[in-house]
Chains A and B, each alone.
Chain A
Amino acid sequence: MLKNRIIPCLDVKNGRVVKGINFVDLKDAGDPVEQAKIYSDGGADEICFLDITASNENRDTIYDVVKKTSKKCFVPLTVGGGVRSVEDINKLLNCGADKVSINTAAVENSKVVVDSSKKFGSQCIVVAIDAKKNGEKWEVFTHGGRNNSGIDALKYAKQMEDSGAGELLVTSMDKDGTKSGYDIELMKKITSNVNIPVIASGGVGTLDHLVDGINSGASAVLAASIFHYGTYSINEAKEYLASKDIPVRI
């Protein structure tokens, strides 16, 4: 049976790990290569790096981090943040990333998703959707949550599946950093509307939130701070999910 995945996400800035509360108020918390290794040894099903300030700053540090990490971690490594073009994706894959997540560039030009999934295969193309509720619908935000594209997130999710995305990484902007749990309504709507795996993200504060994420139809749950500051270990999270009859790799 296919297991649900737990994915710790490391937000990386200038080659160092940080995690923000609602994308601001950053706090340095370690070396990404070491952190990734600790997570993979601890049972993480995948590792995710998000280069959070990549849109504005020098990106070369992330290539170095990916290169070093991929020589030490033998679980899948997803890298995102500031990915603008097929060439950026190529570079990250060559450094040892297994999947690349595309956010703003996919919103601005879905051809990046079409072209990259044709060139490298859908299996390595993750489309990251930052969504925020507005009335009855959710809208897609870009540029690290700063700009509202006004695009309907549910329609966009389907469009990205059709464009060749292999997975969707859905982050609730309303929930991110709040520790109050995933936006379950959003996850349910998206997971039931697409036939590709969805990774739930944004808002985890307790292990029950991970359970809720999986029960909303997500194939994988992403979390940062609960693991990063040692509130729970990956293994504790897995044991807890298993105790709730959720299939995990232990």
Chain B
Amino acid sequence: MKVTIVDYNSGNISSVINSFKEVAKEKVNIEVTSDLNKIKSSDKVVLPGQGSFKTCVEALNNIDGLSDTLNEFTIINKKPLLGICVGLQMFADIGYEETETKGLGWISGKVSKIDNQGGKFKLPHIGWNQINIVKDSKIFKDIENNSHMYFVHSYEFLPNDKKVVSATTDYSSNIVCSVEKENIFGTQFHPEKSDKIGLKIIDNFISL
């Protein structure tokens, strides 16, 4: 099996690479690339993303054919894809960080700044928070409800159809922190930085 981490200059992906390699050991081949043919021939794809919605979308669009290839992989061929942090946010139709930017449009909805209630809550939302699992998700196999995950973000994904939401986390409001729609998975938190329990989520995705 081949799992590809998409390297599209989306910021720091070393930790994602390290964690997937740690989980995969010898049994799974982890590729880190933006090569379209390698992505097409993968069994699973990981779409990381750090920085802003705008810079990540721009970085994605800067690589000729990448968004079409990801679209084909995910929407047409229905192969499993995991978006992490801004990788998840890009599933949306539109994002409002820095300026209005069009997303991949895979899961209808928008990405807006977390309402910090006039400064009552600090932003970014940084640190360990508990996840409230609201529906069975394949990546949550053997993950207990209220497990702690590591977050760092100031924007949140607001999907139109709440049925895609698999977990939320309680900050200034109930923030969507995990989604599952058919073969599309996403986490707002960073499984690669969430210690053993995060590695278990990565293992669940690899084992799909």
Contacts and interface: CB of A to CB of B under 8 A. Distances in A.
Interface of A: 1-5, 40, 45, 70-71, 74-76, 93-98, 118-124, 166-167, 195-197, 219-220, 249
B119 A249 contact: no
B18 interface: yes
A249 B128 contact: yes
Contact of B196 (A5, A74, A120): A74
B127 A197 contact: yes
Contacts of B150: 75-76
Given A3-B148, A74-B198, A249-B148, 15 more contacts: A1-B129, A2-B128, A2-B129, A3-B129, A4-B127, A5-B127, A45-B128, A74-B19, A74-B192, A75-B193, A95-B14, A119-B51, A122-B154, A196-B123, A197-B122
Q: Which 3 residue pairs are nearest across A and B when measured between Cβ atoms? A: A121-B51, A93-B12, A96-B14
B170 interface: yes
Contacts of A93: 11-12, 14
B116 A195 contact: yes
Interface of B: 11-12, 14-15, 18-19, 21-22, 50-52, 55, 116, 119, 122-130, 148, 150-154, 170-171, 192-196, 198-199
Contact of A219 (B127, B151, B195, B198): B127
Contacts of B148: 3, 249
Nearest to A121: B51
Contacts of A76: 150, 152, 193
| Residue of B22, B51, B194 contacting most chain A CB atoms (<10 Å) | B51
B119 A96 contact: no
Contact of A74 (B14, B123, B171, B195): B195
